[in-house]
Structure 1
Amino acid sequence: MSVLKSWTGGALILLACAGGLRAEVTVSQSNNQGEVAEQGLMSVLWQERTAMSAIDKRRVTALTMAPAHSKKVANHGALPGLLSAAWLSQQPKATGGAQFECLSRALYFEARGETVKGQQAVAEVILNRVDDPRFPGSICGVVHQSNARGCQFSWYCDGRKDTVRNASAFARVAKVARAMMDGAPRSLTDGATYFHTLRVRPRWSHRFDRTASIGHHVFYANPIRTASN
């Protein structure tokens, strides 16, 4: 497929998702063909930009995200939509670099007592944050993010030594981390970028859309906004 066809197809998809948004444009009647072509291109780019602004970021991410697979998970071409203990038991020991280690440790300290589904949901939040320009662009950056009020993930700066004491639990969450990094679908939390445990009700929760309640966690995403609001 040519670059032009690919770009045009993407623009048409985005325009369709925006609900048929249309721009009123006036093309110059100049005899200068270069000038007319330039104005035509600018009008198309303006329409695409307007359409993009009308689409919620969660929908844009879903349309454009193409996960990269890895050879480190057995049968990576058939990653299940929902991970399970049975599927994980058939996978080899999960390994990876620094980003894999950060995600594995985050799942261990945040969700090692959860079901596989609950661990997958927490992994979704971290990976969704990586894809969101409002957060750091790497897994380790997201997990270690902090500000004057403290860390985004409290275990990272609670003053305690972050020692993995349950090797079997870590091995299990590491497989979840590996599968999610390798492209397992993020199908549980509807684009959530926040979560908290059922034991608390933070003040910030009312500002976001509640998208799921899985295990001991409640998940939230930024409110969907359109051009009309």
Structure 2
Amino acid sequence: MTSPTPLRDLPSEAHSRHGPRVEEKAPAANAPAASASVCLAAEEQSSPNLRHAFVEIATRVGAASMLSLFAYAAVRQWLAAPQRITLLLLVVSAFVTIGLSLFSRIPVKRDWRPLAFICSMGGTYYFLAVRLSPGSHLVSESVGATLQLLGIFWQLFAKASLRRSFGILPANRGVVSRGAYRFVRHPMYLGYFITDMGFLLVNFGLQNLLVYSCQFALQVVRIVREEQLLSADDGYRSYKTRVRFRVIPGVF
């Protein structure tokens, strides 16, 4: 590829096409206007950055506030019935999911489109709609708690693999292929699924069934949207060829 030809290397007629050489002073006369245009462009560029910074701060403050309110309500229920270990572990899982996201690094690129935002918020804050009062036991409390613990430990393993490259909204925070990401492309969601099933099977009811069904559907859409964003990265496309399955090996 050849570089653009400098003005001084152009034929002489290019300099004199629009009149005598004295007209070359015109740019100096227009310097204030050019300077104003540069300042205006800088302001337009800084405006989206300020808006994104505001949304970033608002998202994290809102996450901390909702998590605190939920934890307060859930712990009150647990204190009334200390044998409900799955309820306490639901709070722990929420802190693992959201608490660590408050300290994630700001991403290089993020998906701000409405559908991605709705799926991310719904798939993350679904626990606010969970019925905390006792429901039907499809499995014992100990079995449900075991599933929750397995899911929480797997989430922690996945988050440790990501380090600070973790957040709520879909974003490119760099391609990670170490740790849990050697087995599936979205191991965090596998941890969510195992933890949620542990709670649902012990606290089964129509409300919780609807909440978790919607949550699982939102997570699927969220995964697809994340992969659309990440697939613009050559490194991620290469990673997809090495790790076939998104969440559940052999299934999805």
* TM-score normalized by the length of structure 1: 0.25
Higher helix share: 2
* TM-score normalized by the length of structure 2: 0.24
Higher strand share: 1
Larger Rg: 2
